[in-house]
């Protein structure tokens, strides 16, 4: 395919100021990166191990520690210049005995519904709680209802993700305040627990967990918070319409512990020309505990490792120092991302570029960039190089949670943007498993990331 496309590329890129020999070289190297990833890639094999041999790896768990050891071992086997662990204290929260909930229409008449505790929630009292339930469409409804109608009840947040937004992360952004702040806000009105509709565009039976915060609420005021599956939310809502006096029972045994030590796993190829300029590629090693975290973010982890492996494999020696960082604790604390940035700052390390993959192992569509106009102009001049790989999306916007703390005026931050249509079918739920990842889609993502890393390494940041 490349042979056909190269003349067109050259024509287009020459117009944008590109020198012809650059285009040829860049096209050739990018082609090698894609071919190597698709024909002789290691990302899928790595993900198989991480997902199926280790599994879900919530911060502070034994599995998270196993993942750290695995990541260190695999990076060392790549024969790159340096591999090390960076200590970081992380929160530890455990789910305990599987949660249990039912709707009670009258004493003895109950219907079970699938729920799961939100990460960081306090448990219910032993034996669970049972109370009337009141449905709201968001935080703003609490004030309208007031303490009179909320006190002593369970608040049920049921605003669904908006289906007509093409980018599903926007739909997520429009709902996730219910999950993150729902308990803290409802507690202020005297609610005794909250149930949140899962952040899922599909109707199914999987409850989706995720992080939540009590803000500055005193311990004694904290109330349990759980997610209910979308089918469960639809059922509960329709039953409430028939009979607003139904009760809801919920039993949760989760618990927060003292912080424990964990690690970011870091590997480096030292730059041949500018060893003191750092470029980071990463994903997060921790995951929620319900599935095996294949899309979130096993995919990002193995794709990031693959970037360095691909460089080695095709014999590309970067000018700048390329670091892969497997961040710990993105899901419920972001401690790894913050720690990495703090250490970098303390050491005065000059970070020029960081790329994160944390949006699933789906077909790559492009990147989102957090950068200034001059850098974005350079990025746009590279667009045609990605066209043969059907990678079209280059836009300004966010990047990734773990690399966010690196932000300053002199760094370009980027996030891989895979196709997002299926992401929230799996996100933070027990069906986020290895079988939901397609090998080619994963490998294409790794090659797309490697290609961008290559271009930034070659041309630098403006």
419 is a site residue for a second copy (CB under 8 A): yes
Task: Please pick, from the candidates 132, 441, 459, 460, the single residue that binds a second copy as defined by CB under 8 A.
Answer: 441
CB of 39 to a second copy, least distance (A): 5
444 is a site residue for a second copy (CB under 8 A): yes
Q: With respect to a second copy, which residue has the nearer C-beta, 104 or 441? A: 441
CB of 228 to a second copy, least distance (A): 20
383 is a site residue for a second copy (CB under 8 A): no
Task: Please pick, from the candidates 18, 34, 70, 454, the single residue that binds a second copy as defined by CB under 8 A.
Answer: 34
126 is a site residue for a second copy (CB under 8 A): no
Task: Please pick, from the candidates 349, 421, 459, 460, the single residue that binds a second copy as defined by CB under 8 A.
Answer: 421
Task: Please pick, from the candidates 12, 85, 89, 165, the single residue that binds a second copy as defined by CB under 8 A.
Answer: 165
Q: Given the rule CB under 8 A, which of 6-14, 296-304, 343-351, 421-429 is the region that contacts a second copy?
A: 421-429
365 is a site residue for a second copy (CB under 8 A): yes
What residues form DSSP beta bridges with 156? Answer: 135, 195
Task: Please pick, from the candidates 312, 392, 396, 462, the single residue that binds a second copy as defined by CB under 8 A.
Answer: 392
Supply 107's token pair.
């004493």
15 is a site residue for a second copy (CB under 8 A): no
396 is a site residue for a second copy (CB under 8 A): no
Three-class HEC string of the chain: CHHHHHHHHHHHHHHCCCCHHHHHHHHHHHHHHHHHHHHHCCHHHHHHHHHHHHCCCCCCCHHHHHHHHHHHHHHHHCCCCEEEEEEEEEEEEECCCCCEEEEEEECCEEEECCEEECECCCCCCCCCEEEEEEEECCCHHHHHHHHHHHCCCEEEECCCCCCCCCCHHHHHHCCHHHHHHHHHHHHHCCCCEEEEECCCCCCCCCCCCCECCCCCCCHHHCCCEEEECHHHHHHHHHHHHHCCCCEEEEECCCEEEEEEEEEEEEEEECCCCEEEEEEEEEEECCCCCCCCCHHHHHHHHHHHHHHHHHHHHHCCCCCEEEEEEEECCCCCCCHHHHHHHHHHHHHCCEEEEEEECCCCCCCEEEEEEECCHHHHHHHHHCHHHHHHHCCCEEEECCCCCCCHHHCCCCCEEEEEEECCCCHHHHCCCCCCCHHHCCHHHHHHHHHHHHHHHHHHHHHCCC
| Residue in 72, 330, 331, 443 annotated catalytic | 330
161 is a site residue for a second copy (CB under 8 A): no
Task: Please pick, from the candidates 425, 449, 452, 455, the single residue that binds a second copy as defined by CB under 8 A.
Answer: 425
Q: By rule CB under 8 A, what count of residues binds a second copy? A: 30
- Please indicate whether residue 377 is annotated as part of the active site: no
CB of 437 to a second copy, least distance (A): 11
86 is a site residue for a second copy (CB under 8 A): no
Q: With respect to a second copy, which residue has the nearer C-beta, 214 or 367? A: 367
163 is a site residue for a second copy (CB under 8 A): yes
141 is a site residue for a second copy (CB under 8 A): no
Task: Please pick, from the candidates 148, 164, 216, 373, the single residue that binds a second copy as defined by CB under 8 A.
Answer: 164
Q: Given the rule CB under 8 A, which of 88-96, 322-330, 352-360, 438-446 is the region that contacts a second copy?
A: 438-446
Q: Given the rule CB under 8 A, which of 35-43, 110-118, 289-297, 312-320 is the region that contacts a second copy?
A: 35-43
Please tell me the distance from the alpha carbon of residue 293 to that of residue 58, in angstroms, as a whole number. Answer: 9
Residues 234-273 that bind a second copy (CB under 8 A): none
Distances (CA, A) of 7 to 23, 35, 106, 316: 10, 20, 74, 24
Residues with a catalytic annotation lie at 330
Residues that bind a second copy (CB under 8 A): 1, 34-35, 38-39, 163-168, 170, 201-202, 363, 365, 388-390, 392-393, 419, 421-422, 425, 438-441, 444
């Amino acid at each position: 395919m490349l042979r056909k496309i190269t003349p067109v590329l050259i024509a287009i890129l020459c117009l944008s100021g590109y020198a012809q020999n650059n285009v040829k070289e860049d096209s050739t190297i990018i082609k090698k990166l894609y071919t190597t990833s698709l024909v002789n890639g290691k990302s899928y094999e790595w993900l198989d191990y991480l997902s199926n041999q280790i599994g879900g790896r919530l911060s502070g768990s034994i599995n998270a520690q196993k993942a750290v050891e695995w990541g260190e071992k695999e990076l060392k086997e790549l024969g790159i210049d340096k591999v090390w662990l960076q200590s970081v204290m992380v929160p530890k929260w455990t789910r305990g005995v599987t949660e249990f909930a039912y709707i009670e229409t009258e004493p003895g008449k109950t219907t079970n519904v699938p729920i799961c505790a939100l990460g960081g929630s306090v448990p219910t009292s032993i034996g669970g709680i049972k109370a009337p339930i009141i449905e709201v469409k968001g935080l703003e409804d609490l004030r309208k209802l007031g303490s009179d109608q909320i006190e002593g009840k369970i608040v049920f947040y049921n605003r669904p993700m908006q289906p007509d937004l093409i980018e599903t992360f926007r739909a997520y952004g429009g709902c996730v305040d219910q999950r993150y702040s729902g308990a803290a806000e409802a507690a202020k009105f005297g609610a005794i627990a909250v149930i949140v509709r899962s952040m899922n565009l599909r109707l199914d039976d999987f409850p989706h967990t995720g992080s939540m915060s009590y803000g500055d609420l005193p311990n004694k005021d904290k109330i349990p918070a759980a997610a209910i599956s979308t089918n469960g939310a639809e059922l509960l809502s329709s039953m409430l319409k028939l009979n607003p006096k139904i009760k809801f029972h919920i039993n949760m045994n989760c618990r927060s512990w003292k912080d424990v030590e964990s690690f970011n796993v870091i590997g480096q190829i030292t730059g041949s020309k500018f060893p003191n300029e750092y470029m980071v590629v990463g994903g997060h090693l921790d995951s929620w505990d319900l599935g095996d975290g294949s899309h979130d973010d096993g995919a990002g982890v193995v794709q990031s490792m693959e970037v360095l492996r691909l460089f080695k494999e095709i014999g590309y020696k970067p000018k700048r120092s390329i670091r892969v960082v497997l961040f710990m604790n993105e899901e419920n604390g972001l401690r790894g991302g913050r720690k990495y940035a703090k250490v970098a700052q303390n050491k005065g390390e000059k970070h020029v570029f960081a790329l994160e993959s944390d949006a699933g192992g789906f077909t790559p569509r492009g990147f989102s960039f957090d950068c200034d106009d001059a850098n974005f102009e350079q990025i746009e001049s590279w667009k045609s190089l990605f066209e043969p790989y059907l990678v079209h999306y280059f836009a300004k916007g966010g990047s990734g949670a773990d690399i966010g703390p690196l932000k300053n005026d002199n760094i370009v931050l980027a996030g891989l943007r895979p196709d997002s249509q299926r992401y929230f079918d799996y996100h933070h739920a027990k069906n986020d498993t290895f079988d939901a990842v397609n090998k080619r889609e994963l490998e294409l993502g790794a090659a797309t990331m490697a290609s961008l890393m290559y271009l930034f390494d070659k041309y630098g940041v403006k």
